[in-house]
Chain A
Amino acid sequence: MISILNTYEAVQPEKVVFWFKAAPVTKFPKNGGACVKYKEMQIAVFNFTREGKWYACQNLCPHKMEMVLSRGIIGEEQGEPKVACPLHKNSFSLKTGKHLNGDLGRIATYPVKIEGDFVYIGFSE
């Protein structure tokens, strides 16, 4: 289980070498998330309409290793965009992956871009 956690590593925008074409924009609810499969990975993608931004992070909640973050409620705490895990409400920054209400460590975040009504996620390999 711990090993599955290690498969997710944050990708900085400048490190992107490959943009994965995930799905049409319309597949993602406004101000909500959905899960994208990329190879063996599950990536949660959020359409943060209120901010006019898109975010992506690992779907895996590091608390109990459940693939659920895409189903969490998104929002913001003191300006920091975040997602709250549906299982026990641990919340994580969508920008940095930082655990905001505890110290579970960071989750991996990924760059997102929109081109021609499609959502792309950036990977470094």
Chain B
Amino acid sequence: MKRYSFVQLLRNAIGLGDGWQQAWRSPEPKPSYDVVIVGGGGHGLATAYYLAKNHGVRNVAVLEKGWIGGGNTGRNTTVVRSNYLWDESAAIYEHSLKLWEGLTQELNFNVMFSQRNLVMLAHTEHEMIEASRRVHANRLNGIDAEIWSREQTLAFIPILNKSMNIRYPVMGGSAQPRAGIARHDAVAWGFARGADALGVDIIQNCEVIGVRREGSRIVGLDTTRGAIDAKKVAFVAAGHSSVLASLAGFRLPIESHPLQAMVSEPIKPVLDTVVMSGAVHAYVSQSDKGELVMGAGIDAFNSYAQRGSLPILEDLASAMVELFPIVSRLKILRSWGGIVDVCPDASPIIGRTPVDGLFINCGWGTGGFKATPGSGWVLADTIANDRPHALAAPFSMERFASGRLIDEHGAAAVAH
């Protein structure tokens, strides 16, 4: 892999460079691999990267039915934080956040991780108490978290609605200074490029349509580009996990829902942090191009079609105007939906499955982008060693049988 740098850029600009190479190859699938990852989203690509990087497992393919990053990875609002309530969540998300902090250098690809602070607004006394609980817990888990007063919050976010005479005045909030946003595509591409350089085959336009088993063990996959043998397989397919699980003959406690987001036309920066509000229900940041990037609540119906309904967007728009009155005359440029895989306890599933040799990573629902490097890291370790990584262990599928749920619903009304 030829490294990227400013010098390279300069050389190419003045015609001294020898041209840019492909960020990743587009090889034909080989007949067999040691590990096949199904799903070329951030999580799948990160898994492949860390398999090769940390465990020396390089005979690996990532199969993607469309284009890599085209699922939720390329559709999300890119909030990255680790201030989760429960210890198990805090541990894995914080592990991920630490990886984020060095990811650009690790991948030699600028993923633009922008630690611009994240403020979760509290609009009622109850929300202040919830914030207090979370911040107390975060601190004890070694995570940077702060309780902010109303004055502090309003001073930091000048465009917030300052009126006390509204349905949900800002009472204060909690903040995580190390949280922020990142460039979603770059995460997929950076991991793809890194994995490719270590020998991983990234195979796009290759949909898995069947699972081949011998007894209780998986031995390969049928794909739209032919059969592929595999010693081990991992499903990392987010919204389509249930479809894949049913091909393998088991069921997942997952519902797939549309989740929508939208961006405004670019405007001069007015918001330099990430704001989330549970009561008014919106979360927003402003990109480095100037677009306000906003996320809505999930559509209540189940669907695999990547589009949602209009009322959800109307609610989001009114929430935005309520929180930030100056946005009313700005315009929404684009809206879209992704299919999110939601577990009953709003926590992911990482680990083994009832089929030997088959691993799964799913259920990240509305909030898994932030986990991309961490999730890839622990899944790679789990696959390489055939046992759950310590951080992944609590997130096994067995928890639904044992009842040891990790319920993050109550912890953040807006789960992103």
Bound together: no
Which residue numbers of B lie inside 8 Å of A, CB to CB? none
